[in-house]
Amino acid sequence: MSTSTTIEITGLGKSFGPVRAVDDLTFSVRPGQVTGFLGPNGAGKTTTLRMLLGLVRPTEGTATFGGTEYRNLKDPLATVGTALEASSFHPGRSARNHLRVYARAAGIGMKRVDAVLAQVGIAAFADRRVGGYSLGMRQRLGLAFALLGDPGVLVLDEPVNGLDPEGIKWIRSFLGQLAAEGRTVLVSSHLLSEVQQSVDRVIIISHGSLVYEGGLAELESGPRVLADSPDRAALESALLAAGAEVETTAGGLAVLGLTREQVGSVALSAGAALSLLATENSGIEQAFLELVGEGGSL
């Protein structure tokens, strides 16, 4: 692995004619962590990544790897590994030959091709033409391409798309492992839940602009406890008296500020029999939806 670098994006903007795809975006991605790059469909994730990789020319601003633009990197594939959303394969070429072509272009040995094919679990189909590959197999081949140069930085656009549960589990632990080795890992997704368990930090954009940059824990407003009782009014007043924030939802009362155990004991001392007591984990998802505009931005 070459030394890992920080991704630095400064004042980045892109207009496709009248469409403002990315607007004044500034953030950085540090080594040793998995960073999630989130936003609803059309938020500008792919466009941002393609600008970072020198494939799309920014209208304004810069995107660098430790100060060096992608096109000026001395050994691009050995510095940054990339798997972009679109399947960029010739359907008539085998997976092995696909990787060999770009290994040759980057001066990478042919042994490395076999190694990454095995690493992503498609060695058995490597000599089949890619045209017959399933979506999940293509994703894995895309990942193999990203790993080809054993890079210190990984930029992955929606890598979980099309993977089976087994594959999702595998990629989550794999990304964590890569970050633990000290690499910089940037993973985009339009679903928070998809990356929630595997990212250390998130960058959230909406309509091309940054809306949040930071840890997942800070994003969360705290877990909510759902509780209900046949005597809902009594339970509510007891909880309010205990200093909780209470919201009435369709399924019962959503309680903020108390743990599940505390809610239980409040109910007991108030003499309100509980018909429901559970912790709700969708706090982050809720915060995410609020940030990007509920129901997506389209």
Partner 1 sequence: MTTVLTDAAAALRAEFSKIFTVRMWWVLLIVLAGYVGFTAGILALVFGGVGGALAGGGNAPQIPDAALPAIIYSIASSVGYVFPVLFGALATTAEFRHQTLTPTFLATPRRGLVLGAKFAVLAVVGAGYGLVALATSVGIGSSILAATGHDTGLGETDTWWLLARIVLAMAIWAVIGVGLGALIPSQVAAIVIVLAFTQFLEPILRLVATFWDWTASIGQYLPGAASDALVGSSIFTSLGMATGQTQSLDWWAGGLVLLAYAIVAGVFGYFTSWRRDVT
**Minimum CB separation from partner 1 for residue 23, in Å?**
17
Number of residues that bind partner 1 (CB under 8 A): 36
2 binds partner 1 (CB under 8 A): no
CB nearer to ligand ATP: pick between 112 and 190 = 190
**Minimum CB separation from Mg ion for residue 85, in Å?**
5
**Minimum CB separation from ligand ATP for residue 204, in Å?**
11
CA distances from 214 to 28, 37, 57, 191, 204 (A): 10, 11, 27, 17, 9
135 binds ligand ATP (CB under 6 A): no
The listed partner (ligand ATP, partner 1, Mg ion, none) that binds 91, CB under 5 to 8 Å by sort, is: partner 1
Per CB under 8 A, contacts with partner 1 among 45-74 are 46-47, 50, 53-57, 70-74
CB nearer to partner 1: pick between 104 and 169 = 104
CB nearer to Mg ion: pick between 5 and 189 = 189
Per CB under 6 A, contacts with ligand ATP among 1-20 are 16, 19
31 binds ligand ATP (CB under 6 A): no
Query: d(Cα 244, Cα 222) in Å, to the nearest integer?
Result: 12
140 binds ligand ATP (CB under 6 A): no
Name beta bridge partners: 256: 245
**Minimum CB separation from ligand ATP for residue 144, in Å?**
21
Residues 167-186, mask of contacts with ligand ATP (x by CB under 6 A): --------------------
The listed partner (ligand ATP, partner 1, Mg ion, none) that binds 39, CB under 5 to 8 Å by sort, is: ligand ATP
Rg (CA), the chain: 23
49-88 burial, b at 16+ Cβ within 10 Å, e below that, comes to bbbbbbebebeebebbbbeeebeebeebbbbbbbbbbeee
Stretch that binds partner 1, among 60-68, 86-94, 189-197, 285-293 (CB under 8 A): 86-94
Q: What strands lie across the sheet with 201-206, from one edge to the other?
A: 80-83, 153-157, 184-189, 33-38, 201-206, 209-215
CB nearer to Mg ion: pick between 46 and 82 = 46
Class of residue 251 by CB neighbours under 10 A (exposed 0-12, middle 13-18, buried 19+): exposed
CB nearer to partner 1: pick between 162 and 176 = 162
* 3-class DSSP assignment, residue 122: coil
94 binds partner 1 (CB under 8 A): yes
Quickly tell me which residue has 């994003």 as its tokens: 219
Which residues contact residue 49 at a Cβ distance below 8 angstroms, ignoring those fewer than 6 apart?
37, 82, 84, 155, 157, 186, 188
Query: d(Cα 22, Cα 6) in Å, to the nearest integer?
Result: 21
15 binds partner 1 (CB under 8 A): no
Chain centroid to Cα 136, Å, comes to 17
Which residues make up the interface to ligand ATP (CB under 6 A)?
16, 19, 21, 39, 41-47, 85, 190
